[in-house]
Structure 1
Amino acid sequence: MKQLLNSKRVLSFMLCMILIISVVGCQSKTSETSEDAMFKAGTYTATALGHNGDIKVEVTVDEMEIKDIKILEHNESPGIADPAIDRIPKAIIDGQTLAVDAISGATITSDAIILAVTEAIKLAGGDIKALSEKKAGENTARETVEYTTDVVVIGGGGAGLAAAVSAHQNGAEVILLEKMPRLGGNTILSGGALNAVDPVRQTKQGIEDSVDKHFTQTYEGGDKVGNTDLIRTFVENAYPAVEWLESLGMKFNDEVFTVLGGLWPRAHKPSTPLGTGFIDTYEAYINANEGVEILLDAEVTELLMSDGRVVGVKANGLNGEIIVHANNGVVIATGGFGANVEMRDQYNKNWPALTQIKTTNHPGATGDGIAMADAVGANLIDLEHIQLLPMGDPKTGSLSGNIEQGVENRIFVNKDGNRFVDEGARRDVMTKALLEQQDAFMWVVLDSHSYPSGDVKNNFNESIDELIAQGRAFKGDTLEELANEIGVDANNLINAVEEFNKTVEKGGTDAFGRTLFADKIDSPPYYAGARVPTVHHTMGGIEINTSAQVLDVNGKIIPGLYAAGEVTGGIHGSNRLGGNALADIAVFGRIAGESAAAKK
């Protein structure tokens, strides 16, 4: 029995030793790196600063290859950053290289992903220099592809998508071409405010308004430069456009508000962040209905003519030339030229040089449609009227990070802590006043009336706590504390707020001529966010009539050619009211689609 026990102990000992050796052997084999290995196999994480904060990636490698890349965390704008998030990791894996091209329109996000992956590869012991060398491109055969449809739409922003949906609803088949790798244009970057005289919402809020008042403010707000027929069509069709969008499934908040430079509380705010609600609504319709085709990465370069009529377009695609023939007509909805510095300077007559001023616009807003229309004899008007906002992010020029929730509850102060302008004035008035301040820099100051809790978000889907954590907004439990945080004179800031509060209490007009007020700034905590001038909108462009038909230099209709949105001129005059752009693109996008479908 004792011998049997000893035998069992020996056997158990030997089995344990075999198991230990096996485990150690496996571990050694896993941790060993062969001499020709490119990486130390494993999973690594790293971060890099993107457009709206850190982007965190997870990179998995074996000894010879990058196997997987995941974006774990990011705060980039939906729609704008999506192509970079989708394409950059795939391009790195497919090519086994860090030398991949940034995605047009999402360059900062692209670069951040590449940098984060690079840092992770460093942790894996990869040869960064070798992986960063540009590989010779494959000789991909380029070919010409031709399509035929009823209506061609150039541009996949709010105006182009409205035109595409409207044309389809009026019986036409549609092909939309967008030069960027995504839909959205400037619309998806916007705060989402849409002006319309609303008999339901405004009545509930006790707001007196009328279509005539909207007409007058739009016309006079543009220094009476705008075409009165276009303005009348615009204001009369703004609320029907809201109803049309709602019929497509879009949701707006129950209350209207006054947007920066809007002059009156008639701005409708979508229930979804930014301008994504507009784009999502149009996309949902297109996805649910046959007959609308979207071609991305398709840069239209030329309008095709036959016997004086526009009959199609020519474009450059990723794999070759694209030609689309249009049975009925072509709608130009390519946006303005706010992102084209040379073009801005060519036409600018009202501002100091704009070469160093950043823009809120997406990179595709380069005036392509204006140039194409000009080439076929279209008349161009109001190109000298370029709108600047006082609301640009100091680093990027974008609208993101703007802490204001509406006009009535905040003030602007300069670096001395003093107010300097009517904060409810026209956008050009406010921007010109800001340009006269030290470093053309200001702080937006407000209180907990706008942010009752730290998780409340601004109009760009950013919470105030997030902005504070990123150093883009500042907080103080007293005005003295806030002044210290932002580096302004505390006495000046306190005086500015006190004088503002006195006018709120007594009513009327303050020393700067301001008449739009709601609550006092008296409920801590107090908040401040930095802002600078930025190029926002180009009021000039292609001349159209009330049917969105393009006119030539002699005032005649160019058959088969239509235009809508910021690519056009004549509606906003010398200054666009805040909230009028999204109404404009919905109204005239809808009209352009209907006219093109009817071959009007």
Structure 2
Amino acid sequence: MKRLLTLSMVILLVFMTIGCGKKEQRFTAGTYEGAAPGIHGDDVVLEVTVDDTSIKEIQVIQNNETPGVSDAAFDRIPKAIIEGQTLAVDTVSGATYSSKAIIGAVTAALQAAGADIAALSAGKAESDADAVSSATKVMNADIVVVGAGGAGLAAAVSANQKGATVIVLEKMPQVGGNTIISGAAYNAVDPSRQKPAGIEDSIEKHYTQTYEGGDELGNPVLIHTMVENAYPTLQWLESLGMEFKGQIFTVLGGLWPRAHKPVKPLGTGYIETYMNYIKQHDGITLLTDTRAVDLYKEDGRVSVVKATGPDATIVAQGHKAVILATGGFGANIELRDTYNKIWPALTNIKTTNHPGATGDGLALAEKVGADLVGMEYIQLLPMGDPNTGSLSGNIELGVENRIFVNKDGKRFVDEGARRDVMTKALFDQEDAFMWVILDGHCYPTTDIKNNFNETMQELLDQGRAYKADNLEELADEIGVDADNLKASVAEFNKAVEAGGPDAFGRTLFADKIDQPPYYAGARKPTVHHTMGGIKINEKAQVIDKDGNVIPGLYAAGETTGGIHGSNRLGGNALVDINVFGKIAGENAAAESN
């Protein structure tokens, strides 16, 4: 009734406004097509149908946006435009580029329909959706999970498999977090895939590289838990329907070829796998647009989460436990600056993270006495898109077959080194800018896709990559000294023949860079991962400042600290997320009420 009354008032106000002399928006009736570039540069194409006085229908004709990430934008924005009869609609948080593309495409179509775009863009029409109810809704389950990224969904699914009912609260309009936009590499010792490729590996080697790669600052117990459960958790994902490719590769900063690549692009495979389980099983309630704002204890246990939803305050009771899986703080400039002790000022450095990675779970955990560890350890990559900071557009397919050169065309670092080592070396170059150089071994044809589901041809068309038949032409294309570039490639090729190490200490090699065509892609430093966070034990229980377990509270994923030390190995994030998410869910489900 309240909604009907509110809508009636809005309609009355509209008619009053018209009666006071405001001109009706008029169109030339028909169906019109409009286009605008999306996040990857490809056009979002929409078809808009209007009659003489109103926008009637919006249909999507072409959409190459990231699956999962852009879904909420395509669902909400056309509805908002039609309901409000306005272009002054809000973008969807986490899908800003896609949102702007949708609004831009509708604008182009309406221009063709003869609309007054200035009038349509002026002021936001009030609607019932803008009225936030002050009602309070109480919900009950065995477990409340805060965050619907990879760790939160892993926890929800594993808890449900153990018989628990679960409520998942997600502040963003869509699920997925950083997982869904990640490169998705998953490190695991896997003889079935590694041995046929001649790769010798062991769990102890994975442990040693993780521990030493973080300057021996990670918790050995947590690291052992992660590496020992990496492959069993991969098998668990496969049992849920997720598919991985057969080839193993070395991801940037991974130090060893043990990375698995999902069949689905980016991290969509992980999220789709969990969401498919949730849709097919009872007992998991998932709320988006619902921000957790407080935790409460009952009888000494954390058991209640207060959250603000789109039309009510939510009080979610977890009779067994609460699990925090809210991600890191890579997109929170204030927190980055507060804790950064290692890097130059990060204020103007872009990030690979989605906009919801603001560290909300840290404040929630501290309210109930949780300890935070390693907060100064913030990981940067040398692989950010110069314009957006994202990992998209990166032309590399693996570590072994490419080199980095600066604006002079010279190599400056071991391209198989730790991520922090490579990024610190990049900061020492002019404009902290580099080119990734590789050849036809990686892209024999331009329809080959990178690790972010973009074809080389798309990147060339968008001006995000360059191609030439020889190194002299490539040097001219990207504006570097041709002699320097040729010398850098020749030096690399000699090291490949010798099997390394080269002058930079590089030991990871595969093919020479000698097979036309040659390619280049520009990259800059970008904030990628925050290694610090909530202190946990091997059971994913949260630890307080006195070293004691906080009853009823668990945490998993990037919101936690103490696993990776000062530097995270490439390919270990998805392991951390899924292993500890699964552990948190299982152990929370085993709690007594």
Q: TM-score, normalised by structure 1?
A: 0.93
Alignment equivalent of 1:43, drawn from 13, 31, 45: 31
Cα shift readout 1:245-301 (whole Å, capped 9, x = no counterpart): 111111111121100000000001111111111111111111111111111111111
Cα shift readout 1:304-344 (whole Å, capped 9, x = no counterpart): 21132101201111112111101100110000000000000
Offset, 1:404: 0.3
Offset, 1:141: 3.8
AA in 2 matched with 1:467: L
Alignment equivalent of 1:530, drawn from 503, 522, 536: 522
Are 1:104 and 2:96 matched, yes or no? no
The 8 Å contact of residues 250 and 258 in structure 2, kept in 1 or not, is answered as yes
SS at match of 2:191: coil
Distance in 2 between residues matched to 1:319 and 1:281, nearest whole Å = 29
AA in 2 matched with 1:193: A
Cα shift readout 1:375-403 (whole Å, capped 9, x = no counterpart): 11000000000000000011110000001
AA in 1 matched with 2:124: K
* Worse-matched range after superposition: 42-51 or 255-264: 42-51
Partner of 1:64: 53
SS at match of 1:475: strand
Are 1:325 and 2:317 matched, yes or no? yes
Cα shift readout 1:96-145 (whole Å, capped 9, x = no counterpart): 11111111111121122112212221221212222222223444644211
Distance in 2 between residues matched to 1:283 and 1:112, nearest whole Å = 27
* Worse-matched range after superposition: 118-127 or 358-367: 118-127
Partner of 2:75: 86
Cα shift readout 1:69-89 (whole Å, capped 9, x = no counterpart): 122223211111111111111
Distance in 1 between residues matched to 2:526 and 2:64, nearest whole Å = 23
Distance in 1 between residues matched to 2:25 and 2:561, nearest whole Å = 61
For structure 1, the residue ranges without an aligned partner over 5 or more in a row are: 1-34
CA separation of 1:136/1:343 partners in 2, compared to 1, >3 Å: closer, same or farther? same
Percentage of identical aligned residues: 67
Partner of 2:109: 120
SS at match of 1:545: coil
Partner of 1:502: 494
For structure 2, the residue ranges without an aligned partner over 5 or more in a row are: 1-22
Are 1:409 and 2:401 matched, yes or no? yes
Partner of 2:391: 399
Distance in 1 between residues matched to 2:247 and 2:38, nearest whole Å = 34
* Worse-matched range after superposition: 561-570 or 127-136: 127-136
Distance in 2 between residues matched to 1:462 and 1:530, nearest whole Å = 15
Distance in 2 between residues matched to 1:342 and 1:137, nearest whole Å = 34
1:56-205 to 2 correspondence within 5 Å?
Answer: 56-132=45-121, 133-138=123-128, 139=131, 141-205=133-197
SS at match of 1:546: coil
Distance in 2 between residues matched to 1:156 and 1:413, nearest whole Å = 39
AA in 1 matched with 2:58: I
Partner of 1:306: 298
AA in 1 matched with 2:239: S
SS at match of 1:253: strand
Distance in 1 between residues matched to 2:124 and 2:151, nearest whole Å = 39
Distance in 2 between residues matched to 1:307 and 1:151, nearest whole Å = 16
1:442-591 to 2 correspondence within 5 Å?
Answer: 442-591=434-583
Distance in 2 between residues matched to 1:118 and 1:283, nearest whole Å = 34
Are 1:429 and 2:417 matched, yes or no? no
1:237-256 to 2 correspondence within 5 Å?
Answer: 237-256=229-248
Offset, 1:353: 0.5
Say how many residue pairs are matched. 566
* Worse-matched range after superposition: 339-348 or 39-48: 39-48
Offset, 1:540: 0.2
Offset, 1:537: 0.1
* Worse-matched range after superposition: 80-89 or 41-50: 41-50
SS at match of 2:574: helix
Offset, 1:44: 1.6
Partner of 2:363: 371
The 8 Å contact of residues 296 and 368 in structure 2, kept in 1 or not, is answered as no
Offset, 1:58: 1.6
Distance in 1 between residues matched to 2:322 and 2:313, nearest whole Å = 18
CA separation of 1:214/1:36 partners in 2, compared to 1, >3 Å: closer, same or farther? closer
Distance in 2 between residues matched to 1:363 and 1:36, nearest whole Å = 38
AA in 2 matched with 1:446: L
SS at match of 2:580: helix
Offset, 1:201: 1.0
AA in 1 matched with 2:462: Q
Offset, 1:499: 0.8
Distance in 2 between residues matched to 1:48 and 1:508, nearest whole Å = 48
AA in 2 matched with 1:115: G
AA in 2 matched with 1:76: E
Distance in 1 between residues matched to 2:467 and 2:477, nearest whole Å = 7
Partner of 2:200: 208
SS at match of 1:200: helix
1:238-277 to 2 correspondence within 5 Å?
Answer: 238-277=230-269
The 8 Å contact of residues 25 and 115 in structure 2, kept in 1 or not, is answered as no
AA in 2 matched with 1:82: D
Distance in 1 between residues matched to 2:292 and 2:544, nearest whole Å = 20
1:216-235 to 2 correspondence within 5 Å?
Answer: 216-235=208-227
SS at match of 2:244: coil
Partner of 1:29: none
Cα shift readout 1:397-454 (whole Å, capped 9, x = no counterpart): 0000001000000000111111100000000000000011111111111011111211
SS at match of 2:110: helix
Distance in 1 between residues matched to 2:65 and 2:546, nearest whole Å = 47
SS at match of 1:504: helix
Partner of 2:3: none
The 8 Å contact of residues 25 and 116 in structure 2, kept in 1 or not, is answered as no
Distance in 2 between residues matched to 1:36 and 1:414, nearest whole Å = 58
Distance in 2 between residues matched to 1:420 and 1:140, nearest whole Å = 55
Offset, 1:484: 1.1
SS at match of 1:279: helix
Distance in 1 between residues matched to 2:230 and 2:381, nearest whole Å = 23
SS at match of 2:262: coil
AA in 2 matched with 1:85: F
Distance in 2 between residues matched to 1:524 and 1:36, nearest whole Å = 61
Distance in 1 between residues matched to 2:290 and 2:296, nearest whole Å = 16
Distance in 2 between residues matched to 1:464 and 1:414, nearest whole Å = 22
CA separation of 1:37/1:390 partners in 2, compared to 1, >3 Å: closer, same or farther? closer
Partner of 2:373: 381
Cα shift readout 1:37-65 (whole Å, capped 9, x = no counterpart): 61111122222222111222221111011
Cα shift readout 1:197-232 (whole Å, capped 9, x = no counterpart): 112111221111111111110000000110111111
Offset, 1:36: 6.3
Partner of 2:10: none
Are 1:336 and 2:325 matched, yes or no? no
